[in-house]
Structure 1
Amino acid sequence: MSDDTESGTGGAPTSGGGDGRSGPAGRGRRHERLNRHATPGPLNSLQHWREAKSIPQVVYNYLFVLVARLAPALPVKAWALRRLGVTVGDGVSWGLEATPDVFWPELVTLEDHVIVGYDATLLCHEFLQSEYRTGEVVLRERAMVGAGAVVLPGVEVGAGAQVAANSLVAEDVPAGETWAGVPAKPVDGEG
């Protein structure tokens, strides 16, 4: 799989293809699930963010991200996440200072009984030099993301899977597995 930018104009998305499966056959396929948006010209892609999202929308998102990060009660956090467009299942626990993507929070799915730990970050975008990429982040039922972990766009954390604290998740985590590290990899035994 090449990381080369597909040609396009005006930030129009192009997809990397792939079938989007998780698990052993689909492991490491996050790049194939990302939408690529070209940003031609001398400026890096972050300089083009206003072409993708309006300033009022990002301000709105940021305010509700703050509520989700700082509210002391889980029902208030779930309410704020839903206002952002995050799909939130029953019994989701969102830790203090945990952060959903501020530009594309609607690409986050948290299935039932997911736990997202303190100061974890779920990113649905990456700004690069000549393009930006967007992709869904899906945490399946009873998945757990530890404190300070970062989940990159296009990643799926399988049902009952665990991501250790301070890990960088750049690949799908299969159901029931425990991953840790930078970048996160499978670990033996209980984490």
Structure 2
Amino acid sequence: MRRLKEYPKPGPENSMYYWRSYVNFFKVAKNFIFISIGRYLPFLGLKRWLYRYGVGMKIGKNVSLGLMMMPDVLFPELIEIGDNTIIGYNATILTHEFRVESFKTGPVKIGRDVLIGANATILAGVEIGDGAMIGAGAVVTKDIPPGVLAVGVPARVVKKIE
């Protein structure tokens, strides 16, 4: 079950039209600059530092964030990544979603010793349990239990990891 908080749109246009009423423009500009730099940094320690202290992500020890990994620009502080986790090339972690009639936010919690494959997308409001593996290109739309392999669009558990 995704944990999402819903906000009604303040006017007649779609919710994305009002993005500045949900989050401060200067916060988003700062996040965009730090995340854009971080996406290309090859130095894992510096990248972790930048995302922890620059944009407020909660990142554990020895986390490896792959090249071009894209955290949410509006609410990166809602992302928590456990120790010794690997997030692959060009993976995306979202903590918000715009719908026509509303705007939603939700925290993303990724456990310890998790592997997220290249080009995977993690949607707002989900948890990925300790020791789970997410296949390349998967779209995680619901919670993934600990110690399993999940693949596909949407991601489905295919086996327990021994």
- Do both proteins adopt the same fold according to a TM-score greater than 0.5, normalized to the shorter chain? yes
Output aligned runs, 1:27-176, within 5 Å: 29-30=1-2, 33-82=3-52, 83-176=54-147
Q: Distance in 2 between matches of 1:73 and 1:166?
A: 24
1:183 Cα offset (Å): 0.3
Structure holding more strand per residue: 2
Task: Specify the SS of the correspondent of 1:188.
Answer: strand
Q: 1:106 and 1:189, CA in 2 relative to 1: closer, same or farther beyond 3 A?
A: closer
Partner AA of 1:80 in structure 2: L
Aligned residues: 160
Q: Which structure has the greater CA radius of gyration?
A: 1
Runs of 4+ in 1 over 6 A off after TM superposition: none
Partner AA of 2:104 in structure 1: R
Structure 1, unpaired ranges of 5+ = 1-28
Contact 2:120–2:138 (Cα < 8 Å) also in 1:
yes
Instruction: Give a deviation string over 1:41-89, Cα, whole Å, max 9, x none.
Output: 3211100110011211111000111122110100111011112100010
Contact 1:123–1:153 (Cα < 8 Å) also in 2:
yes
Identity %: 40
Q: Distance in 2 between matches of 1:40 and 1:160?
A: 41
User: TM-score if structure 1 supplies the norm length?
Assistant: 0.81
Q: 1:118 and 1:47, CA in 2 relative to 1: closer, same or farther beyond 3 A?
A: same
What root-mean-square deviation, in Å, do the aligned CA atoms of Structure 1 and Structure 2 show? 1.1
Structure 2, unpaired ranges of 5+ = none
Q: Distance in 2 between matches of 1:59 and 1:41?
A: 24
Q: Distance in 2 between matches of 1:140 and 1:68?
A: 22
Contact 1:40–1:130 (Cα < 8 Å) also in 2:
no
Instruction: Give a deviation string over 1:10-59, Cα, whole Å, max 9, x none.
Output: xxxxxxxxxxxxxxxxxxx11xx200010043211100110011211111
Partner AA of 2:59 in structure 1: V
Contact 1:124–1:137 (Cα < 8 Å) also in 2:
yes
